[in-house]
Amino acid sequence: MSLPRRTVAPLLPALALALLAPALPAQTPVQVPPEANRFSPQVLDIPSVAQALEWLEEHFDDQVEEWIRINEIPAPSRMEEERGRYVASLMEAEGLEVSVDGIGNVIGVRRGVGDGPTLVFASHMDTVFPMGTDVTVRRDGDVLRAPGIWDNSAAVANMLAVARAMNAAGIRTRGDVIFIGTVQEEIGLNGMTYWLEENEGVADMLVAIDGGLGAISYGALGIYWTIYRFHAEGAHTNRSAGRPHPVRALADAVRYIYEIEIPEGQGGAVFNVGMLDGGSIFNAIPEQASFSLDLRSVNPVLLDSLNAEIEARVARAAEAHGVEWSMEIDSRSQAGGTEEQLADRRIHPLVVTAESIYGHLELGNTLRASGSTDANAGVVRGVPSIAVGRSLGGDNHTLSEWADIPSALPATQAVLLLTVTLAELADGPVSQ
């Protein structure tokens, strides 16, 4: 069976838009065992699979309308309840076993017939935009424009469409398929972390639907967010000469940090001072000054060593200016490892099968041993995990965010093929 023409043709001009995005790092060639690829193009000839793929095409306009409805329900991190209720109602309408856990994740379980792996899909429901942001969607030809439209309401709509298509085509899998609308992804992957800790050993494989179409992430970018504070007695400007000064300590600390040289050949790292705070009037030494630091690396050893070096330089600046210092840990998302450290993950059937499906659909299949999605929580716990794209788009986390409509269809069909391949068709997979 060939995929419907609408699946691929509209993607070609959209791919030109993707050229505006930063290039992804190339992967080192590896020897992949042939048996690691579980996908065969022959699966498209199985009547139920063919029917599900065609159903997705025929009902794609409905998927887009639902995508818009999801986006127009505000869902800042920690305030996802209304969107969660809507998603839960859609899952219930499809006959999934629906529950909401202690942190607010919406879970829909589609039971398999047994004797198969459990495959988990995660699409985060939260956005970075505060309550009150205008999230009304504007359609501009083949582009949707609104805050949050790409990151990540597109993925939630894709995930729900797959469940519907499977039901419409009567697809049965051996393994359970668990669909999760996660919460608090944008502030530290909190929802996914909670679910994995509360359901240890349940997921055999985890797929986060997140990011741009064409990339497959199988690693985890470690992200440390920390606030450093400097404290001292205040003083009027007229009496400030020679007195301990939190701002001067802060200034030196920031300078010392930016003098750190990142060692080569260890996976790389990046850091950024993003927020400064302190003082309330012109004519006094502030009693407190603070800055935030965003530190990132895929290498867990490098991440921790840089974090220790940063703390040492903060302490040095505080001591030099006679002030006290403290730190507040906002979040700690652990690193998954460098490309070399994840060599075994690169050849796991989950990664290889996703690569094969993307190649077959001509979606691009750039692999990267990194990632900043719900899949990270699985990677660092040893659960085979990847992130696959939701559509083409851009300007996420800004008010000018946009998403390419046609590209969401092949992205959704790729998720369907991942499902029937990795959760194993109950009626028997087609061997290569």
Task: Give the rounded distance of the alpha carbon of 100 from its chain centre.
Answer: 20
In the predicted structure, residue 251 carries a pLDDT above the cut 50: yes
For residue 3, what pLDDT is reported?
56
Joined tokens for residue 173: 């899998």
For residue 81, what pLDDT is reported?
98
The full set of domains in the chain, from first to last, is: 5-220+336-422 (3.40.630.10), 222-333 (3.30.70.360)
Chain segment 6-31, per-residue pLDDT in tens: 433 333 333 333 333 333 344 456 78
Chain segment 144-173, per-residue pLDDT in tens: 999 999 999 999 999 999 999 999 999 999
For residue 360, what pLDDT is reported?
96
Q: What are the two backbone dihedrals, phi and then psi, of residue 430, each rounded to the nearest 5 degrees?
A: -90, 125
Q: What are the two backbone dihedrals, phi and then psi, of residue 35, each rounded to the nearest 5 degrees?
A: -70, -10
DSSP state of 391: B
Expressed in percent and rounded to 5, the helix, strand and coil fractions of the chain are 35, 20, 40
In the predicted structure, residue 70 carries a pLDDT above the cut 80: yes
pLDDT category of residue 39 using cuts at 50, 70 and 90: very high
What whole-number percentage of the chain has pLDDT above 90?
Answer: 90
Overall average pLDDT of the 115-122 stretch: 97
120 DSSP β-pair partners? 178, 206
pLDDT category of residue 228 using cuts at 50, 70 and 90: very high
Nearest residue to 208 (alpha-carbon basis) of 406, 337, 103, 354: 354
d(CA 160, CA 108): 10
Nearest residue to 210 (alpha-carbon basis) of 153, 165, 285, 138: 153
For residue 28, what pLDDT is reported?
54
Q: Identify whether the C-beta of residue 91 lies closer than 8 Å to the C-beta of residue 177.
A: no
In the predicted structure, residue 314 carries a pLDDT above the cut 50: yes
pLDDT category of residue 405 using cuts at 50, 70 and 90: very high
- Pairing type for strands 119-124 and 177-182 reads parallel
